[in-house]
Structure 1
């Protein structure tokens, strides 16, 4: 039996902005964005004007990984960011790692600058403008077994 997992990011009305930001920063491809207004009308669950433009589900393909997105309902509790879950990115080239880190840093905050570590020729941590924390890690030489 195989299993796949992927990050699912939730925002308070900023999912469209986030999807396009990550599309550019990570070199991804938007595969779809569906808003609550795109859904068929249901008189039992009416969608307010405020909800129509919020993202019900969006999908961004980055390499072999899929990132999914949605917005909260207006007025629902929302706590951005947090450090309990981080997204690790492993570009093979240092130049690409620097590009990604720089793009994520725009409007965000560097937690640990890109630098050589014991396990990587280039590693750093950045919290982006949406409060999502990324670890950018260029894989180092793997010891021979």
Structure 2
């Protein structure tokens, strides 16, 4: 099947205690995104995750957020095996994050970006609590 594994945790991993927006500005993260962009030209790329739902996964919230601007087709494999388009995941994300629909001065894109931001803060906050309680919910 010609499957290869490439570890990009150094470039695209998240400590989850950092602000994703700040991490995304680093040269290391940008280098990781560039490696993905180049790889997509020749290979079928899969980003693996342990989360059941992409909206709870840092790979969607951090990585897909920036790849989507490149008009790259992104799909997620859900727990039941269903394939979900990233745009549909983003709509679910906005609902899950309780982001209000855009007003007359905003676009759908603005709403989606607010949802990404809100979820990135939630994931980072949950990870801080998990670390502080030894992995148990407080």
Structure number with larger C-alpha Rg? 1
**Same structural fold, with TM-score higher than 0.5 when normalized by the shorter chain:** no
Q: Would you tell me which structure has more strand in proportion to its own residues?
A: 1
TM-score normalised by L of structure 1 = 0.26
Q: Would you tell me which structure has more helix in proportion to its own residues?
A: 2
